[in-house]
Amino acid sequence: MKTYRKTRELIGKKLLIITDWLEHTSAFLAIRQGMIMLLPLLIISTLDLLFMKAPIPIWQKFITEAFGGRIIELFEFTYHAITGNFAILFATSTSISYALLKRKEMKKKTSYIDALFVTLITLTSLCIHFEFHKDLLYLDQFSNKNMLTALLVSLISGKFYFLIKEQMNAHLYKRTVKEDNFFIDMLEGITTSGLIIVFFFIVDCFMETFLGIANIQELVNIIVSKIIFMSDIPWLQGVGVLFFTQIMWFFGIHGTYAMENVVLENFSGIGSEIYNETFQNVFLNIGGSGSGLCLAIAIIIFSKKKNIRNVAMLATPSLMFNVSEIMLFGLPVIFNPIFLIPFLLVPLIHYFISYIAIYAGIVPQVTQQVDWVTPLFVNSYRACDSYKGIILQLFCIAVGVCIYKPFVELFGVQQEKYIKFKIQELTFEYKKQEEVTAFTCLTEREDEIGSTARALAADLEKAIKNRELYMLYQPQIDCSDVCTGAEALLRWEHPIAGFIYPPLIIQLAKEKCLLSKLEEYIFDTVAGAIKEIEKDVDSEFKVTVNITGKSLEWDGFEECLQNCVERHGISTNQMWLEITESDALSSSNDILEKLKKLKDKGFKFLIDDFGMGHTSMLYLQTSYFDVVKLDGSLTRDVLENERNMEIIASIVHLGRSLHFATVAEYVETREQRGKLEVIGCDAFQGYLYSEPIHLNALINWMQVHNA
């Protein structure tokens, strides 16, 4: 048992490493994103086929007769317009995705013009490869049967384009301000485009002259057929077809379409042999490729992640009609090594179960052809003309769910790891902006940082609504060693990423207009905490709450504060408002009027991270601030840095002359505290006394300390 667990953990770690690598590989991501772009068209074409083939006599009569048969014509036209041109559509979407991904990878050293170039070159190369230059034009070459060709041509074109572009050390033209840069970009693409087109022309000539084949898809079909039919055993040939179909699906190619010619040319029709196209659609791929319905059920039952379950539930209706694209690309399954084993294994297990059941006569052989979009259970009943077909499907579903279970759990781990990594990247980016005090709107960025910021902001909105954020309190001690107050500090434990950097929380709240809701929650929580503390200490105890320059701008800020104080029955001078030195207040009359009103009502204001900066001096010119909290960079090194000691002494002296108190933060040793007291600081806050703690722990701590 221990060996099994260790082996499973080792395999899981390896799969996670491979998955992380794929998530950062442009080619794989381009295929996935390219197919996702086409999902609406895929679903429309599937619905068209479903409407055309729905086994309801009244419906069939209606669509064929109503409006002179125009309804059925619309369905047929739309279906063939999409499937008949799907190779071109897939090549276009993949080329655009690849170019945009390379743009991010190269940190915008490329332009959107590159996406245009790559797409045009891909389409031109595809036409050359399909012998578009000849008199006879085969439109069938651009259908979904040649997706593999379209995929390879688009990726090769994109790869060569950027490789050639990077190798070109000099531009063909010197640019000046007066020149049309767009026109110059077009001219510079001549060399790159010409080389790629010549390459595909040479490849096409070689394949036609020496191999006698028309395109890559035909070459793949020949190779696959040779491998499959090395054996004369029918059931083994069926295994080969199923295996290659699933492999193509896993790499983003519609395997059913790609393998259609192989199946039609080499397998017998309905009734003569067990394996055929209907047998595969009904009993092997239950719910589409990879037995998608089994995966969906396994996720709904075993996954602990709500977002993953939501994808499964969203995809389930389409899976009932054997349409698996939403599940495969939405989860995703495509290019996800975690699902490779069950994606191949489940249909193969279904194959052996169904083959044996029919071969042994337990279930009747497939005697009727059934369209692949016929809903589950209906298709098995019609194919076998027996309820035993339904029982066989149910049994296969149960087996498939059990096989998918451990991989669904591993996928949950992988998703958590991915989300944690992305939020760490977002936090690192925000901290870099903090260092240079140059902030950008994170949620408006178009890269992965932006998408992560938007997702985290959405989670923050839910967390505020569900009151999942909480406050910690760090005690403040006066010179007589009595705890006279505390600072309230916001905390958020994200269900997946864990601790979220508090300044990032505030930044996201500002960007997504959540600041008023967040601060209303904070004020109410802190007012309630003050009321609880009052039961054990005197009424002079105060709690400071951090606000921002934006706080005073939202309508209702003043009213919200007053309501919280009155609702919990505390005094206004017990809730102090703290704003950082770097967060500049607006000098508008409305803001100044709010400050005055709040000051008149008894609220006190503090300047946090006070230094000798320009903003600090401006704040001191007003009469609104009562306390300054020294910048931690000053107090940390006060014992070693005489210049810091002199700056603190100057601030303390200035404070006494202007009648404001001085609080020292980041006090961690007795020696540091003693030095700051000698200089003249009025109160101290830091790990020497306590880390930030929960309310109950704060009350217990004060009872012990003050005693």
Asked whether the whole model's pTM tops 0.95, one would answer no
pLDDT one-digit tens code per residue, 654-686: 888 888 889 999 999 999 999 999 999 999 999
Same structural domain for residues 493 and 543?
A: yes
Shared domain check, 486 and 408: no
Q: Is beta strand 542-547 parallel, antiparallel or unpaired with respect to 498-499? A: unpaired
How long a stretch of residues is the chain? 707
Which residues, at least 6 apart from 396, have a Cβ–Cβ distance to it below 8 Å? 283, 286, 291, 294, 349, 350, 353, 354
Find the angle CA(27)-CA(448)-CA(427) to the nearest 5 degrees: 140
User: Comparing 51 with 474, which gets the higher pLDDT?
Assistant: 474
- Confidence category of residue 269, pLDDT binned at 50, 70, 90: low
State the DSSP H helix or E strand holding residue 606, giving kind and residue range, or none if neither. strand 604-610
Question: 508 with 434, same domain?
Answer: no
Residue 32 located in a structural domain: no
485-538: pLDDT as tens digits: 999 999 999 988 899 999 999 999 988 989 889 999 999 999 999 988 888 776
Percent of the chain with pLDDT over 70: 86
Q: Which residues of 551-569 are buried (b: 16+ CB within 10 A; e: fewer)?
A: bbbeeebbebbbebbeebe
Q: Answer yes or no: do 393 and 515 share one domain.
A: no
Whether residue 546 lies inside any domain: the answer is yes
- 475 beta partners: 486
pLDDT digits (tens, 9 = 90+) for 530-546: 988 888 776 578 999 98
- Mean pLDDT, to the nearest integer, of 79-90? 86
Amino acid at 177: V
Instruction: Round to whole Å and give the CA distance between 263 and 274.
Output: 13
In the predicted structure, residue 15 carries a pLDDT above the cut 70: no
Largest interatomic CA distance in the chain: 103
Q: Indicate if 242 and 371 belong to the same structural domain.
A: yes
Nearest to 375 by CA among 329, 299, 317, 295: 317
Task: Check pLDDT > 80 for residue 447.
Answer: no
- Domain annotation covers residue 123: no
257-262, long-range: CB < 8 A, 24+ apart = 257/86, 257/143, 257/144, 257/145, 257/147, 258/145, 258/147, 258/148, 258/217, 258/220, 259/224, 260/145, 261/145, 261/221, 262/221, 262/224, 262/225, 262/228
Phi and psi of 437, rounded to 5°? 45, 45
Q: Tens digits of per-residue pLDDT, 132-177?
A: 445 444 556 777 778 888 888 888 888 888 888 777 644 444 444 4
Are 554 and 690 found together in one domain? yes
Q: Are residues 507 and 410 in the same domain?
A: no
Q: Are residues 351 and 476 in the same domain?
A: no
419 pLDDT tier (thresholds 50, 70, 90): confident
Domain of residue 409, residue span: 229-438
Q: Over the chain, what is the mean pLDDT?
A: 83
The mean pLDDT value for 37-51 works out to 84
Do 631 and 507 lie in one domain? The reply is: yes
- 376-386 pLDDT per residue, tens: 999 999 999 89
State residue 164's pLDDT score: 81
* Residue 551 DSSP one-character state: G
| pLDDT value at residue 460 | 93
Is 17 a member of any domain? no
Asked whether residue 663 is assigned to any structural domain, the reply reads yes
Instruction: Tell whether 506 is covered by a domain.
Output: yes
Q: Within this chain, do residues 433 and 563 fall inside the same structural domain, yes or no? A: no
- Residue 370 domain flag: yes
| Number of structural domains the chain divides into | 2
Q: Does residue 255 sit in the same domain as residue 368? A: yes
Contact (CB, 8 A) for 315 and 206: no
In angstroms, the CA 319 to CA 377 distance is: 12
User: What CA–CA distance (Å, rounded) separates 13 from 497?
Assistant: 19
Phi-psi region of 664 (alpha: psi -120 to 50; beta: other; left: phi over 0): beta
pLDDT in tens, 161-220: 888 877 764 444 444 444 445 666 666 667 778 888 888 888 888 887 877 777 777 788
For residues 601 and 623, the answer to whether their CB atoms sit within 8 Å is no
Torsion sign, CA atoms 344, 345, 350, 355: positive
Is 70 exceeded by the pLDDT of residue 19? no
Q: Identify whether 702 is part of a domain.
A: yes
Q: Nearest CA to 263 among 276, 279, 246? A: 276
CATH number at residue 580: 3.20.20.450
Q: Are residues 412 and 477 in the same domain?
A: no
pLDDT band at 449 (very low <50, low <70, confident <90, very high): confident
pLDDT score for 137: 47
- Residue-wise pLDDT tens digits, 279-319: 888 999 899 888 999 999 999 999 988 878 888 998 898 89
Tell me what the mean pLDDT of segment 624-646 comes to.
85
